[in-house]
Amino acid sequence: MDMKPTALFRAGHVQDSEDFLVKQIARGKASPGDFNNLAWDHVARGIVDSRTLEYARKGTQGSGERSAAAAHTLATVLAELGRTAEARETILREIGMSDKDQPRGADWFTLGRIAESLGELDAAIACYQKVTPEENEPADDPRGCLVLAKRRLAGLTKPSSENTLKLKL
């Protein structure tokens, strides 16, 4: 897996990162990790759609579905699309792939997205508050689950403009 797209994304060159990965795919040179990175970039950008799901699935298929990172991406994409039963099954399988019997930092983000999709906002907030950066991941990585969880938390804990209007009246 080429680290160039991750470096581009972290440096703020988001479109360049995606363009690089799309070119790899078009040339037939994309690895499972490239598909996984492209799917995750879509998650980080908030543009998850059926194409993202296709990328995430290709990321797991090429890795023999043994890659915890690819399974995590797939679970997150499924949660983003509201496919909570599949997302839950996939994240539990991913957690089982690790040596730990508890969710790791990034898993809490996906569990939060599942809870949020189900309308369980208190549970989602509790999950997002447990997110920690992965090993060797900067805490301010725009692709990292910690940054994404903080973004979700901000959206869940801010009063909506409708509530603000009611308070002013």
The pTM of the full predicted model, rounded to 2 decimals, is 0.84
Find how far residue 137's CA is from the centre of its chain: 14
pLDDT over threshold 60, residue 162 = no
Instruction: Check residue 3 and give its pLDDT.
Output: 65
Find how far residue 76's CA is from the centre of its chain: 5
87 pLDDT band, cuts 50/70/90, is very high
Q: Which residues of 64-99 are buried (b: 16+ CB within 10 A; e: fewer)?
A: ebebbbbbbbbbbbbbbbebbebbbebbeebbeeee
pLDDT over threshold 50, residue 136 = yes
* Contacts for 148 with CB less than 8 Å, ≥ 6 apart: 43, 44, 109, 131
User: Mean of the pLDDT values across residues 129-157?
Assistant: 90
Percent share of the chain, pLDDT over 90: 53
Structural domain boundaries in the chain: 4-157
pLDDT over threshold 90, residue 79 = yes
Distances 63 to 55, 57, 121, 139, 162 between C-alpha atoms, Å = 13, 10, 34, 27, 46
Instruction: Check residue 59 and give its pLDDT.
Output: 93
What topology does CATH give the domain 4-157? 1.25.40
Is pLDDT larger for residue 63 or for residue 140?
140
Instruction: Check residue 160 and give its pLDDT.
Output: 53
Find how far residue 13's CA is from the centre of its chain: 18
106 pLDDT band, cuts 50/70/90, is very high
